[in-house]
Amino acid sequence: MATKIRLQAPIGMHDILPETQPFFRKVYAVANSIAQFYGFKKIDTPIVEDADLFSKGIGLGTDIIEKEMYAFRSKGGDFLALRPEFTAGMARAYIEHGMVNLPQPQKLYSYGPLFRMERPQAGRFRQFHQVDLEVFGEQDSVIDAQIIQIFYNILKELKFKNLIVEINSIGDRNCRPYYKKMLVNYFRSRESSLCSDCRRRLRYNPLRILDCKEEKCQPIKAQAPQLVDHLCEECKTHFKEVLEFLDEVEMPYRLNPYLVRGLDYYTKTVFEIYEDSEEGQKLGALVGGGRFDNLVKMLGGRDTPACGGAAGVERIVATLKERIKQENTAPVSVQKVFLAQLSDLAKRKSLRLFEEFRKAKIQIAESFGKDSLKTQLRLADKMGADYALILGQKEALEEAIIIRDMKTGRQETVKLDKIVKEMGKYLKK
């Protein structure tokens, strides 16, 4: 018996419908232009990688690996995973292609889909998209500040207002183990008051207790020792310098001692960027990132300091859409000209004329399947066309065509062999 296919996208995954495409295009266009301005080069890594790459890089005790990774064994017996983030794949590519031998730093960027089996909720999907930037081979604190500045500029260019950067330092392998021990001792003596997730985190990932959102854990968290007070000299200086650079470019930031982020590979700087409003807090961070000086070595490469971040495209697009709704401004139509035809002869001539517009790179729309002029003009209006070209039986016989200004209704007849050139002039006006 044939099984019935469920005619719905998988839970937490969505079609990006035609009306949403311009928003995604806009985000990618802005990201491309700003990333390239700052000297980043585009790279695409596979959507599927060895599962071990992520469990080794991101860490076994993290939510992403423990609960959220789409991992599977292929028919050939390989243990693979859909990428839950970009950084580990980028680091793998950096090692695999010997980029360590190229002039350092190597600045790479990418965008595309990622997969995490999270509980679907507002701003959180199982397939989502990020714009990701990584700098490999530079330990200077100026890079941390620059990464933050670039993401901030991308959001500014997309007309985000009231942005706020939250920033913290989570130390390195010199100072973090000592702090971790202190933290574990502190939480262990209060274990029975922690939520069940945090009791588990206490064993696998105690730093994550600091960003627990459970009401119950808040008072305990508030009294916990803070990492910034226990940084080693090197991390302290690095953090101070990052903040000074941010001051220099007048970046609005606030220190958040509870910001630890979910992944094991971070060292020193961690940051997130939010829209500083109730709505923005609800939606969650637009951008997150930090320094990861140990990752390349952990994956088998040479000791390579690195820093990067990722912006969530769906969250950005949701805000752009909301803004358009509030301002009641439709995205600008690219269909400025519509070709309407009446009669068989006109339809045949229209087909050829359409090709001439394509060669002249003038965007033009049509609805050749419709025969009523009224229907075609209504469609032109809906598309937001500035001009309709009307080719009726009479015009087709006389080798002419009518240009109709859709706003004023004014019409002018021109020779058919002049229309492409004429429209070019009209559109330049």
Only one of the segments 18-26, 310-318, 365-373, 406-414 lies at the binding site for ligand AMP (rule: CB under 6 A); that segment is 310-318
CB of 375 to ligand AMP, least distance (A): 41
Q: Is 226 annotated to bind ligand? A: no
Q: Is 261 annotated to bind ligand? A: yes
E strands present in 224-360: 253-255, 267-275, 287-291, 306-312, 337-341
**Residue whose CB is less far from ligand AMP, 153 or 367:** 153
CB of 112 to ligand AMP, least distance (A): 12
Only one of the segments 34-42, 168-176, 285-293, 297-305 lies at the binding site for ligand AMP (rule: CB under 6 A); that segment is 285-293
Q: What CA–CA distance (Å, rounded) separates 71 from 49? A: 10
CB 155 within 8 A of CB 287: yes
| Residue at shortest CB range from ligand AMP | 312
Site for ligand AMP in 193-232 (CB under 6 A): none
Q: Is 65 in the site for ligand AMP (CB under 6 A)?
A: no
Q: What CA–CA distance (Å, rounded) separates 87 from 262? A: 13
Q: Is 265 annotated to bind ligand? A: yes
Q: Is 143 in the site for ligand AMP (CB under 6 A)?
A: no
Q: Which residues contact 43 (CB under 8 A, 6 or more apart)?
A: 90, 93, 108, 109, 110
Which among 312, 170, 331, 166 is positioned nearest to 238, based on CA atoms?
Answer: 170
CA atoms within 13 A on the CB side of 224: 32
Which among 192, 176, 266 is positioned nearest to 226, based on CA atoms?
Answer: 176
Q: Which of 35, 131, 310, 342 binds ligand AMP (CB under 6 A)?
A: 310
Only one of the segments 91-99, 122-130, 142-150, 349-357 lies at the binding site for ligand AMP (rule: CB under 6 A); that segment is 122-130
- Partnered with residue 371 across adjacent β-strands are none
CA atoms within 13 A on the CB side of 313: 24
**Residue whose CB is less far from ligand AMP, 128 or 187:** 128
Q: Which of 107, 208, 238, 315 binds ligand AMP (CB under 6 A)?
A: 315
Q: Which of 40, 94, 111, 128 binds ligand AMP (CB under 6 A)?
A: 128
Q: Is 27 in the site for ligand AMP (CB under 6 A)?
A: no
**Residue whose CB is less far from ligand AMP, 117 or 182:** 117
Q: Which of 130, 168, 319, 350 binds ligand AMP (CB under 6 A)?
A: 130
Q: Is 118 in the site for ligand AMP (CB under 6 A)?
A: yes
Tell the burial category of 361 from Cβ atoms under 10 Å away from its Cβ (0-12, 13-18, 19+).
exposed
Q: Is 86 annotated to bind ligand? A: yes
Only one of the segments 52-60, 309-317, 357-365, 400-408 lies at the binding site for ligand AMP (rule: CB under 6 A); that segment is 309-317
- Partnered with residue 50 across adjacent β-strands are 80
Q: What CA–CA distance (Å, rounded) separates 256 from 252? A: 13
Rg (CA), the chain: 28
- Partnered with residue 111 across adjacent β-strands are 131
Binding site residue list: 85-87, 116, 130, 134, 261, 265-266
Binding site for ligand AMP (CB under 6 A): 85, 116, 118, 123-125, 128, 130, 285-288, 310, 312, 314-315
